[in-house]
Chain A
Amino acid sequence: NAGVTQTPKFQVLKTGQSMTLQCAQDMNHNSMYWYRQDPGMGLRLIYYSASEGTTDKGEVPNGYNVSRLNKREFSLRLESAAPSQTSVYFCASSEVGYGYTFGSGTRLTVV
């Protein structure tokens, strides 16, 4: 009963490097989300996918791209990392009308 699995758990990048954060859920949920958590800012929505094959921007999409690879997987890509993207990233999934289930997060540091 894994729920939502995020990889990696920790990552350090140099400015300008690229990387992809992976997320997979085993609950057969249609909707998936990427949030970032910053001190004093709470959780802010980066991108979401209401269903397989669709993606939409959230509150803070700049500097990120996403791919809904299939119903289970939703990845977040940083093409050219910046120090402002240092954060903790959470993936979540849900069915309409039900609470979100979150992964345990990826702590990303950009130096």
Chain B
Amino acid sequence: DQQVKQNSPSLSVQEGRISILNCDYTNSMFDYFLWYKKYPAEGPTFLISISSIKDKNEDGRFTVFLNKSAKHLSLHIVPSQPGDSAVYFCAASASYNQGGKLIFGQGTELSVKP
């Protein structure tokens, strides 16, 4: 049973436009959410996170939105750049500040075209 789902395996966007990556979860006990970015032949790297007490967190071109009632979060990248082309993983944790482990989604491969 997949607790964290990324239903779009791939997304293609034009350079300069907005990229929106989506993630759904089923466990209402999740209290912390993260996005990781992964380039080929490298390990995932942390991008941005959000606590369940917030509904938005922004860091430069990256913004994460959390809709707890819908159990949905999204990552917005504005403007998109070719260097953003990578696989993006959504992750969630219950009791994160007490050592809860990360559960990852399947990943979405973003391609930003020049």
Contact = CB atoms under 8 A, between A and B. Distances in A.
Contacts of B96: 97
Interface stretch (A14-22, A41-49, A66-74, A77-85): A41-49
Interface of A: 4, 31, 33, 35, 40-45, 48, 50, 58, 90, 92, 96-97, 99-105
A102 B44 CA distance: 6
Most chain A CB within 10 A, of B36, B102, B107, is at B102
A92 to B, nearest CB: 8
Contacts of A102: 36, 43-45
B43 A105 contact: yes
B46 A42 contact: no
A106 to B, nearest CB: 10
Given A48-B101, A96-B98, A99-B49, A90 B106 contact: no
Nearest to A44: B104
B41 interface: yes
Contact of A42 (B42, B49, B101, B107): B107
Contacts, number: 52
Nearest to A99: B46
Given A50-B99, A99-B34, A42 B43 contact: no
Given A4-B43, A102-B36, A104-B43, 8 more contacts: A31-B99, A40-B106, A42-B6, A42-B89, A90-B44, A96-B98, A97-B97, A99-B34
B46 A104 contact: no
Contacts of B99: 31, 50, 96
The 8 closest A-B pairs by CB, nearest first: A102-B43, A43-B104, A99-B46, A42-B106, A97-B97, A42-B104, A96-B99, A104-B43
Nearest to A38: B106
